Amino acid sequence: MKFLISLMVLWTLLMWKTAHACCNCNQKIFPRSCNSLLPKTPSGVYKIQPLPKQDPILVYCEMSTGVIGEHNRHFNFLPRSITRRPDAQQIINALFTDKKNVLIKLQKKVDRSEAYTLIEPHPDFAHVQFRLLVNSHSGFTSPQNSFMRDYLFFGVLPASIARQRNLQGFKSNGHRVQFRNCDANPNSLFAFMPNHDLQTPSSYHPNLVYERTGVAVDWRKTAKEITSPDRMMPNNYFFLTELHFGGCGCYTSSDRWSKFGFHASAIGIR
């Protein structure tokens, strides 16, 4: 009798495991990042899941070697919608492991053609890692367009370091883009605004002196054209963009850009 009971218990356990072993069989497994995709995967929009227990996100994966070079592969371009996710900072923390390379794409207003530039630390600050924050500028100065509430904050030098009267800046496609901080004003940032409510950008520093020369135009001048129009990135990956450096570096936002025809940019991390 005990033997029969034992058999029945084992049979019940076996049936339970069989019934529940595939409870997640239909649950699709997504790559953790663009770097998880196969090497010959074409560039495009892909669903990734950086956080195992959170909803996946649609990013644009830059996978090309022929268009922008071997060094610039496997970047995750972030959509404007990410700023409204409660787990946005955790997603970025999971994706942003190479903190000395950020790929920025620039979009032209007339035909939506694109160019790219790889942003790297200035050689004098090669030891300082970039920061990428969501709706926050902790450790840095605030963007002038922070009233728009949602933004991605790309910090180059923290305020504690940028508060010096020395040469500062960054590298753009291998070229130094630099200025001498004239008054120890510690701005050192790119800010990417989705501008969900279509607000008018800040009128800060309205004389447009920085649109003629210096940091604001030098970094765009180094951008290299992407010559594959059949694989243009969707518009919802491009942001209103603010740059603020110094202390005599620059203040600009992409609604003011006149040289080179660009009007928005996108940020890619890996």
For the record, the structure tokens of 79 come out as: 């959509």
Mean pLDDT of 2-17: 43
51 DSSP assignment: S
> For position 16, what pLDDT does the model report?
38
**Helix/strand/coil (H/E/C) assignment for every residue in 132-201:** EEECCCCCCCCCCCHHHCCCEEEECCCHHHHCCCCEEEEEECCEEEEEECCCCCCCEEEEEECCCCCCCC
> For position 5, what pLDDT does the model report?
45
From CA 128, how far away is CA 160, in angstroms rounded?
A: 12
> Binning pLDDT at 50, 70 and 90, where does residue 13 land?
very low
CA distances from 183 to 21, 106, 212, 213, 248 (A): 65, 30, 21, 19, 8
Lowest-pLDDT choice from 71-75, 213-217, 233-237: 71-75
The answer, yes or no, to whether residue 21 has pLDDT greater than 50, is no
The 10s digit of each residue's pLDDT in 128-148 is: 999 999 999 999 999 999 999
227 DSSP assignment: -
Closest by CA position to 61, among listed 234, 254, 264, 262? 234
Strand pairing class (152-155; 131-134): antiparallel
Strand pairing class (131-134; 114-121): unpaired
Please tell me which residue, 230 or 124, carries the higher pLDDT value: 124
Please tell me which residue, 6 or 18, carries the higher pLDDT value: 6
Q: Which residue has the tokens 């009971």?
A: 5
Mean pLDDT of 43-52: 96
* Residue spans of alpha helices (H) in 21-107: 88-95
Q: Which residue has the tokens 């850009």?
A: 257
> For position 266, what pLDDT does the model report?
99
Mean pLDDT of 47-55: 96
> For position 23, what pLDDT does the model report?
36
- Rg of the Cα trace of the chain? 23
